C-alpha cells in the first residue's frame, strides 16, 4: 500500500489517523515507516500538530516516543504543537510536550510573538495556565507587536479564574499594552465587574494615569460603555468622577 499517499486535502494516512485519535493505526503506520513529519498541503500541520490540536493524547505520546516527532514544528499559521494544545486547553498534552522538552516560552502566531501561556489565558483554560506557570512560563511576557501580556488578554476576555491565578503569580497589574490600556481598563471596557473587583482587591490603581492618546480612565471607559455595575465599583474604590478625556468629557457627560 502507498503509505505516503495524500488525499485531496493533502492528508497522509498517519495525519488522518492522528487527527482522529486512532493511536493503534498510528503505531502500525510508524512501524511500517510512515513519515512522522509529513505535512498537510494547505496548513503544513504534521501528525503531532493535528493530534495536539485535537487533544489526542495517546497519538501524541506515540509520535513523540516512537516517532521522535519534531515538537517545535511550526505550521502555516506559525503555531507549534504546544501552542496548539495550550490554545485548546489540552492540559495533559501540554504536560507531555513539556516533559519532552518543548519550548514553554516559544513565540508563535504569524510574527505576533504570542506564547502558549497567553493563548491559554485568553481562551480561559485555567488548568493549562496553572500547568504552564508551574513549569516556569514567563507570566509577564509581552507580544512583540502590541505589548499585550497574559493578564491584559485575560482581562480583555473576562477570564476571572485565569486572572486570579495570574495575580497570585505576581502578574503586573499596571502593565499597559500598546493601546495604553491597563488590565483594569481592559476589564472596564468589557464590563467584567468581578474581574475588576479582583484587580482592585489586589491593589490595582483606579486612578492610574489616563491613556496617553485619548486621556481615558477606567471610569470614563466604563461610563461611556454603559457598564453601570463597573462604574459603581470604581466609584466605591475612589475613582476620580471629574476626570476628563481628550474631548473634555467627564464620566457624567
How is 78-105 classified by DSSP, letter by letter? ---HHHHHHHTT-HHHHHHHHHTT--TT
Neighbouring CB atoms inside 10 A of 160's CB total 19
What pLDDT sits at residue 2? 87
What pLDDT sits at residue 192? 98
Q: What is the pLDDT confidence band of residue 235, given thresholds at 50, 70 and 90?
A: very high
What pLDDT sits at residue 27? 97
What's the whole-number mean pLDDT along residues 31-40?
95
Number of H helices, E strands in the chain: 14, 0
Percent of the chain scored above 90 by pLDDT?
Answer: 92
User: Rounded distance, CA 97 to CA 85, Å?
Assistant: 9
What pLDDT sits at residue 84? 97
Residue among 153, 94, 100 at smallest CA distance from 122 = 153
Instruction: Give the Å distances, CA to CA, from 249 to 73, 109, 224, 235.
Output: 51, 38, 10, 17
Residue among 144, 209, 139 at smallest CA distance from 177 = 144
- Mean model confidence pLDDT for the chain: 96
Q: What is the pLDDT confidence band of residue 17, given thresholds at 50, 70 and 90?
A: very high
What SS3 class is residue 114? strand
What's the whole-number mean pLDDT along residues 132-137?
98
Distance of CA 103 to the CA centre of its chain: 15
What's the whole-number mean pLDDT along residues 227-231?
98
Q: Report residue 175 as a C-alpha cell.
A: 502593565
What pLDDT sits at residue 144? 87
What pLDDT sits at residue 76? 94
pLDDT at 1 over 80: no
What pLDDT sits at residue 166? 98
Residue among 63, 51, 66 at smallest CA distance from 20 = 51
What pLDDT sits at residue 112? 79
pTM recorded for the entire structure = 0.94
The DSSP bridge partners found for residue 114 are 108
What pLDDT sits at residue 248? 96
User: Rounded distance, CA 229 to CA 232, Å?
Assistant: 5
What pLDDT sits at residue 8? 85
Amino acid at each position: 500500500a502507498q503509505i505516503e499517499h495524500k488525499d485531496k486535502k493533502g492528508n497522509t494516512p498517519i495525519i488522518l489517523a492522528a487527527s482522529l485519535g486512532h493511536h493503534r493505526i498510528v503505531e502500525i503506520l510508524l512501524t511500517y515507516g510512515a513519515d512522522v513529519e509529513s505535512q498537510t498541503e494547505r496548513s503544513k500541520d504534521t501528525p503531532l500538530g493535528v493530534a495536539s490540536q485535537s487533544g489526542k493524547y495517546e497519538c501524541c505520546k506515540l509520535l513523540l516516543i516512537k516517532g521522535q516527532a519534531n515538537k517545535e514544528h511550526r505550521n502555516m499559521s506559525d503555531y507549534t504543537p504546544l501552542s496548539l494544545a495550550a490554545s485548546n486547553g489540552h492540559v495533559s498534552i501540554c504536560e507531555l510536550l513539556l516533559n519532552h522538552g518543548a519550548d514553554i516560552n516559544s513565540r508563535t502566531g504569524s510574527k505576533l510573538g504570542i506564547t502558549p501561556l497567553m493563548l491559554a489565558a485568553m481562551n480561559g483554560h485555567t488548568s493549562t495556565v496553572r500547568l504552564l506557570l508551574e513549569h516556569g512560563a514567563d507570566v509577564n511576557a509581552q507580544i512583540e507587536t502590541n505589548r499585550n501580556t497574559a493578564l491584559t488578554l485575560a482581562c480583555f476576555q473576562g477570564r476571572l479564574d485565569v486572572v486570579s491565578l495570574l495575580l497570585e503569580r505576581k502578574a503586573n497589574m499596571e502593565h499597559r499594552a500598546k493601546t495604553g490600556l491597563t488590565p483594569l481598563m481592559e476589564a472596564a471596557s468589557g464590563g467584567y465587574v468581578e474581574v475588576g473587583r479582583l484587580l482592585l482587591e489586589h491593589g490595582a490603581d483606579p486612578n492610574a494615569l489616563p491613556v496617553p492618546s485619548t486621556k481615558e480612565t477606567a471610569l470614563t471607559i466604563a461610563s461611556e460603555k454603559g457598564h453601570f455595575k463597573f462604574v459603581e465599583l470604581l466609584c466605591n474604590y475612589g475613582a476620580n468622577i471629574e476626570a476628563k478625556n481628550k474631548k473634555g468629557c467627564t464620566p457624567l457627560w
